A and B are shown apart, each in its own frame.
Chain A
Amino acid sequence: EDQVTQSPEALRLQEGESSSLNCSYTVSGLRGLFWYRQDPGKGPEFLFTLYSAGEEKEKERLKATLTKKESFLHITAPKPEDSATYLCAVLGSNDYKLSFGAGTTVTVRA
Chain B
Amino acid sequence: ETGVTQTPRHLVMGMTNKKSLKCEQHLGHNAMYWYKQSAKKPLELMFVYNFKEQTENNSVPSRFSPECPNSSHLFLHLHTLQPEDSALYLCASSQDSNRDYGYTFGSGTRLTVV
Instruction: Give residues in A with beta carbon < 8 Å to B.
Output: 4, 9, 31-32, 34, 36, 41-46, 49, 51, 87, 89, 91, 96-103
Contacts and interface: CB of A to CB of B under 8 A. Distances in A.
A38 to B, nearest CB: 8
Given A91-B99, A102-B41, 14 more contacts: A31-B100, A41-B108, A42-B108, A43-B2, A43-B6, A43-B92, A44-B90, A49-B102, A51-B100, A89-B102, A97-B33, A97-B45, A100-B42, A102-B42
B114 interface: no
- B interface SS class: mixed
Contacts of B107: 41-43
A98 B103 contact: yes
Given A9-B40, A102-B40, A97 B105 contact: no
Contacts, number: 58
B41 A49 contact: no
Nearest to A47: B102
B110 A43 contact: no
A100 B43 contact: yes
Contacts of A9: 40
Contacts of B2: 43, 45
Given A4-B42, A9-B40, A43-B4, A98 B102 contact: yes
Given A42-B108, A102-B41, A49 B99 contact: no
A25 to B, nearest CB: 12
16 contacts: A31-B100, A41-B110, A43-B2, A43-B4, A43-B90, A43-B105, A43-B107, A44-B90, A45-B105, A46-B101, A46-B104, A51-B100, A89-B43, A91-B100, A96-B48, A100-B43
